[in-house]
Structures are given as structure tokens and as C-alpha cells.
Structure 1
Amino acid sequence: MQFKEIIGQENIKQQLIQTVVENRVSHAQLFLAPAGNGALLLAIAYAQYINCQNRTATDSCGECASCRKYEKYIHPDLHFSYPFFASKDVKTAVDVLDEWRSLLLEEPYFDLDIWRSKLSADNKQANINIAECHDIIKKLSYKAFEADTKVLIMWLPEFLDKEGNALLKIIEEPPANTLFILVAQNQEQILATILSRTQIVKIPKLADEVVENYLINKAQLSAQQAIEYSFLADGNLIEANALLNDVTNNNAGLFAEWLRLGFGNRVPAMIAFTDTAAGWGRENQKNFLKYGINFLRECSLLLSGAYELVKLPPQTLEVAQKLSEKVLDLAMVEALINELEQAHYHIERNANPKILFLDVSLQLVKIIKFKTLPQGTQYIYN
């Protein structure tokens, strides 16, 4: 993986390259990043750059023996650790290494749900167990086979339980020429003992313009469609790729119409909408609800007077302004977001979509038309 293959993150790429040029590579680093912004790929490209035999000022060469092996994730001095589902046949991460390499080659931007789909998870919980910790210590105790630097990239160290303390000594005092890179999403879930032994590199989410260009170039979306999908993806390329599976879905128009039906108390029309929504499929239903949550959060910014923070494209912004002026207030928005978040939670857990959307539609009527808010919500009049 070369830096040039990773979408966006130009400042971080330059920062990582500079640490190599100036010989300031910390032996234990934590890449802290939201999902879908390429942090794992940056870690791999960084390791490849460090071990490249003919690196340039901007990237690894991609042609030397080391780079060719890194490109296929088969370099003997590149080790991976990641959450997996232990069973009698799967004791450590190495037992599913073929699946890991295959996923990286086929779909480099992925999350735990996508990784889970590649494995036999059943009802097990993913974790990085004590057997995996011992295997890491064993692998890193060997001398390097080819490279100057052995590299261990751990994806989602949040899944290390207290057994992760077995790694403290080797992280703090690693063998010579050993590099640890931990790629995490939630700092609070990482063992404090491990966190204190790493240098944190914060990687921001992708800019909207970067995601828009990606959508236009990859799927030939129109500029307007790319803006809409970028807004929904919110800097997450995993979400952007999921949205490309249904580029014809007009979430903006559908959600605005749903709100109008609720305001007009048009129950028969809302029942018909429920029947339509039930046939969309789970991913499209989740995308619709997620769009609604993001749209309402933008409306809350309008209602609060924070116009400069609003990211809606012009056509959708006009709809949001009309709704904010004539229908919504902050208490309504808060109540609606709560309903949509609960609906999203239940859709993920295979709730009956027809019953769920009907219930949410009726709650929408209560909140917008009759101004009946959940108990304890303080009403704010415009």
C-alpha cells in the first residue's frame, strides 16, 4: 500500500514521511481516527515506506522486493493483529490471516461489521484474546527475516481486555528495530496502561470535498448527488461505498415528504409510505434514517442561529429553512432525532420494518402536529 493509493489525508501523509526523513519514528504509535478515513491503510503505507529499499521524498517505490511483498501483505516482517471470533479451529489471528489479506485486497475500507461478514461469527463476541497476545510476543521475539524494521499493526486495540496487559513490557521495551502501530477508533475503550505507552497520532475524518470527488470519480455521480451522499457519509468512505449500492434513492426528498405528511396529519398517506419503506431493504432503511438524523441536526443549527456551520447543499438547505421557520423548533428536533435513533437501533437488530415505520410515523405526527413530546422534554416555543 503506497501513500498515493490512499484517498485524502495529505497532511498526515506528509507528517508520517517527515518522521522517517528526520529519524523520529516512535517505536509505539496509536493512530486514533474515526471509521472510514483510511487510518489502517495509512499504518500499512507508513510501514511500507519505512522498509522500502528505494523510497522517494513522497512515497515508497512500489517496485523493490520489500514493496512487492507489502503490496500483497505477505512480507515476513509485517504482522497483523485484529479482533476475531475464537473457536476450536481459530485460536489466534493467524488462523484467519488469509481472510484478512483477502479483505484488504478486495475492500480496503472496511469496519468490524464487514470483517465479521467474512468470518464464521455465529453469536460470539469479537476480541483479541490472551492467546493472541502471547503469539504477538513470540513473533516479535524473533529476529527480522528481511526488513530493517519488524512491524506489528494492531487494528482496534479496544478489543483487548485486561489480558492486553501481557503486552506492556514488549510495547515499552521492544526488541531492537520493532515498530508497534495501533489503529483505534475510541480512545476511552483502550486500556490506560497501553495508552500511556504510545504516541498518539490523531487522524481527522475526510473533508466533504474529498468524499465528493471520490463519489464523482468512482460512480460518476452528478455534483448534486455527490454533495448529498457526502453529507450523509460525513467523512466516512465505508458509508459512502454503502450508499453507492443505491444511488437512485432520494433520501432528501423522501424525508422532507415524510415530515410534511406528519405535519399535515395525513395518516392514510403515512401508512402508504410505511408500506413502501418496508420494501426498501435493511441497508436502505438504515441509510434513510441516518439521513433523517443528519438532516435534523442541521435544522437544529439553523434554529440555533449557527448558519455558518450548516453543511446542507443549496436545494436541501431551502427545504430545511422552510421547515425550521414554519414547523420545527429545538424541542421537536430533539424528540424526532431520538425516535429516529431508536428506529435505526431496532432496524439493525432485524425489527419488523412495517411495524417499526408505522410506529415512528405515528410518533412523528404526535411530535410535529400535536406537539406531544416525550415525558421530561421541555418545550421551547419559537
Structure 2
Amino acid sequence: MDTLMTHGFEAYVVGGAVRDYLLGRPVHDIDIATSAHPADVVALFKRTVPIGIEHGTVAVLSGGASFEVTTYRSESGYDDYRHPNQVVFETSLKKDLMRRDFTINALAMDRAGRVIDLFGGRADLAGRMIRTVGSPGERISEDPLRMMRGIRFASELGFALGQAEREAFKNRAALLRKISVERIDQEMTKLLAGQAVNEAIGLLFETGCIGALPFLEQAADRTILEKVHFSLLKTDAERWAAFLTALRIYDVHAFARAWNWSRSREKGVSALQKYDAVRKRDGWNPVRVYYAGRELARAVERLQAAFGRTDRSALEAMERNIDRLWQGCRIHRRGELAVTGNDLLKWSSERPGPWLSEALAALEKQVVTGSVANETEEIESWFKEWQRQRKPS
């Protein structure tokens, strides 16, 4: 800011950084609005990245951090419901703030720490309200994702959504179908991690936004979902698993395809659902904890508590029980077995086939529980007996 100002340009911190500073929340990304044009910014700083130069944004790398520096601008026409057809560089901070989504994000702060509030953002912070800058309908028509952002902010901050905004969301919920699923997924993942997630889920249903989201067109029963204690869950995968389970969506693969999830997230959520069902039906024993893994088993206990299946006050004790079962396992992965498939082949007169996988799986269980010592000679003895028993008499 000092560099920009000493060269005759205006510069203000804008948006979420000001909002979070005023709320006493941690400030992460710092965005700066300036009267300087992108070429001026590039000329003034040694290390820059033109991340959105056609829209006036240059990333300035300084002090080990990255700052998005954007020229004052106004926008018009949003044929793709995301990118403006026309961007005009402005000389006025007011015109720049007018294009922002919500009043609490349309705040600016000057170099001396004075807050510029042209749209009642500070009053909405005090009143814990989410309201758009200007007409809710116009802001949504520019970018329908703002509906998801608004509900996500309600979840993160514990704020209420303004009545005019609620009505506008209801009337325009269907526009969310025009938004890329990747953008929706980012907002939904943050929404599920918010302090007021249950209230935000209520808003998704009340405004009809839930029905415009991929794979959720028929989501009608929110009874279980609104009672889930999401605050007990630690990871995105746990929260998504709880969300899908509460809506009785068990085809994680189909959901993952609709939401364009990574294979990693799909596997994580699927495993949580699988072992949540195992835990509900059979409980834990060393073998089940071994196959789940300690961290997944602990996550499943958090899911159990989040759904009220176990007493939340007993969660720590349940997690300690998982640790005890895990520590009692003689091995913690197949690679720790004292033998390999080649050893079994060497001891057998049979050719390789499905029996080899069966033998290794059976051996794994025996060693995990301590029924067979993890020693070559004892395993060989066990294997020969296993082979003898499986041969038809």
C-alpha cells in the first residue's frame, strides 16, 4: 500500500480481510483495491503474477505472502452467470465496492486503519445479517453462486440471511444448475465445516437451493440431517459422509461422479460409510480395527457420536478403545507379515491362483489376532494345515 500510495495511487484493503479483522477472526488472504492499472502494479513490484490481468488483478509476492492487487472496476453483463461481459477500470472506490456480493464483504480499510463503509456492512456485522449490496435479484443474476456463498457465510459466521435475500434465493434457486459443480463443491465443503451448519442446511431446504444441486434434486427429508452434530467431525470426508448418510445416499460412486470428486475423496467417504455400517452392526474387534486402520476407526466413532448413536461425552473413551484394539494387533499392515506370497508358493505344490489371495487373507487375520505367531516356521506349519483342510477328501 505504501508503494502504491507514494507513486500517487489510492490503495485500500478490501473484502473478507476487513470483515474478519472487524469480527476478530483470523485474517488469511489480503486483497488490495487500487486506482493503479495492472501495468502500473507490474512496474512497481519486483515479483508479480498476472493471475487475472484482463480483469485487473495482479498477484504481488512479498514477504513470503501473496497479495491480490486489483484495479478499481465496474462490471456489466454476465451471459455465463460468472464472468462479466465487460470490465471497466474505474477511478472511484465506491464504484468498485458497488459490484461486490454482500455488504459485509463491501468494506474497505485505508492505510491508517479507517474503515470505509458505504453500504451498511458494519451494521450488518453488528446485527449478524447477510445482505446483498443493492438488489438481491441483480446480484444473483450476475453470479448465482452467490446464493451458495450467502448460505455458506451464514454457516461460517452464524449470521442470519436477510428476508429479501431469502425470497430472491427461492425465486432464483434453479439458476444454480448453470454453475460448475466444482464451484458449488467448494462452497458446500466450507458450508459443512461452519459453526452454524445445521441452520445453513435449513436455509438450503427453505430456499429450494438443495434441489438445484447435483444428485440432490429429490432430497426432501432433512429431519436427520438437521440433527447431526457436525461440530464433532474433524475432516471434510467425515462431514460429507455424515451429510450423505443422513440423506440416505449410499451410492458414493454415483454421487462422486455427479460432483466431480477426486478419487481420493470418493474412497475416503466410501470407506467411512462402509465402516460406519460395520460399527453399527457388529462393533469393533481387533480384526475390524486392523482393516479399517486406527484413524478411520476413530473417525467412525466421531460419526457415531455425531448421529447420537453413542453418548458424545463418551467419545474420548471410545477413541481410546480404538487405540487399545489397534495396539493389540500383532501387525498393522500386510507388509509386516514375516512371509510373502512367494513363500507360500514355495511351500505349496499348487500353481498360483485365487487360493493364494485367500491364504494370505486368512493368514493376516490369524497373525493380527495372535492365533498364529508372526514367525516363518509357525506360519509354514499353519499354512500346510490350511492347505490340507481345504483339499477335498
Q: Which has the larger radius of gyration?
A: 2
Larger RCO: 1 or 2 (CA < 8 Å, sep 6+): 1
Calculate the TM-score normalised by the size of structure 2. Answer: 0.29
Calculate the TM-score normalised by the size of structure 1. Answer: 0.29
More strand by share: 2
